[in-house]
Homo-oligomer: A and B are copies of this chain.
Amino acid sequence: MAGVDTRATPGFYGRKKHAAGAAKQAAGILSQLQEKLFANSKSGDNRKVLLVLQAMDTAGKGGIVRHVIGDLDPQGVSHYAFKAPTKAELTHDFLWRIRKRVPAAGMIGVFDRSHYEDVLIARVHELAPPVEIKKRYNQINAFEQELVDDDTTVIKVMLQISSTEQKSRLGERLDRPDKYWNYHTVDVDERMHWSAYQEAFQIALERTSTAAAPWYVVPADRKWYARLVVQHLLTEALKSMVLTWPTADFDVEAEKVRLSTT
């Protein structure tokens, strides 16, 4: 991960000015695939998708949700932003509150932060003893395998920005009164732990990138590029499901007759 060129745009041969057109075209395709996934769930198809977004502050999780997920039909999206656990949540296993938010059949679930905070911030700030954190990697793998066994396509995305880019983005929030609300003094405190976070990410990726639920480390200094990649990952996941419109579970001609008499 230390070797990731955060300004790179691998796989996309255009420049920023070409990205908007590409994103719009891809949004149409993704949107239709989503409708098919949703439609199939109505006739018993159990499949669903879970997109997990992790990143350092300002890396662009919010923008991904606004622009990529925002292109989808809200009826087929279940989005949840995990904050610091409440006192009540802390009286349970760390996966307890996560399990309650997993997507139902036909849905695209989006986790803005997730159970990975329990091995990231928890490790950096020693919120749990090392032996406990070590156990969590296995628990996470078992949990995600369970989701996969329940027909969930799990896509885990780590948006990777450089420390310099983060500094510039935090600076911008301090320059714009319409962005103050999104600036938190704790972001600078956290920034002091940059390398500890990188290390925690690195270990988490190694322990939890499985064949069933792989991680994608996405260079994110260029917002437009990171958005295209996430859009692409979702599209490919849905394409590989080979979704078709469900067949009628009723007699179409008989229904036409019945309707005509009303």
Interface residues, chain A, with chain B CB atoms under 8 Å away: 39-40, 42-43, 62, 65-66, 69-70, 72-75, 77, 79, 81, 110, 112, 167, 170-171, 174, 177-178, 180-183, 185, 188, 191-192, 245-248, 250, 252, 255-256, 258-259, 262
**Cβ contact within 8 Å between A174 and B70:** no
Q: Which residue of B has the minimal Cβ distance to A35?
A: B178
**Cβ contact within 8 Å between B245 and A177:** yes
Interface SS of chain A: helix
Which among A69, A70, A110, A171 has the greatest number of chain B C-beta atoms within 10 A? A70
Q: Which residue of B has the minimal Cβ distance to A79?
A: B74
Q: Tell me how far the C-beta of A25 lies from the nearest C-beta in chain B, rounded to whole angstroms.
A: 18
13 A-B pairs (CB sep. < 8 Å): A40-B181, A65-B75, A66-B74, A74-B110, A170-B259, A171-B256, A174-B252, A174-B255, A177-B245, A181-B245, A183-B250, A183-B255, A191-B259
Residues from chain B with Cβ under 8 Å of A256 in the complex: 171, 174
Q: Tell me how far the C-beta of A59 lies from the nearest C-beta in chain B, rounded to whole angstroms.
A: 15
Compute how far the CA of A40 lies from the CA of B182 in the bound complex, rounded to whole angstroms.
10
Partner of A180, one of B69, B180, B183, B252: B252
Residues from chain B with Cβ under 8 Å of A258 in the complex: 185, 188
Q: Tell me how far the C-beta of A53 lies from the nearest C-beta in chain B, rounded to whole angstroms.
A: 11
Which 9 A-B pairs rank lowest in CB-CB distance, beginning with the nearest? Answer: A39-B181, A180-B248, A66-B73, A178-B245, A74-B79, A181-B246, A69-B74, A185-B250, A191-B262
Residues from chain B with Cβ under 8 Å of A181 in the complex: 39-40, 42-43, 245-246
Q: A66-B73, A180-B248 are in contact. List 8 more A-B contacts (CB 8 A).
A: A65-B73, A65-B75, A70-B74, A74-B79, A74-B110, A180-B252, A185-B250, A188-B259
Compute how far the CA of A79 lies from the CA of B247 in the bound complex, rounded to whole angstroms.
28
Residues from chain B with Cβ under 8 Å of A171 in the complex: 256, 259
**Cβ contact within 8 Å between A75 and B259:** no
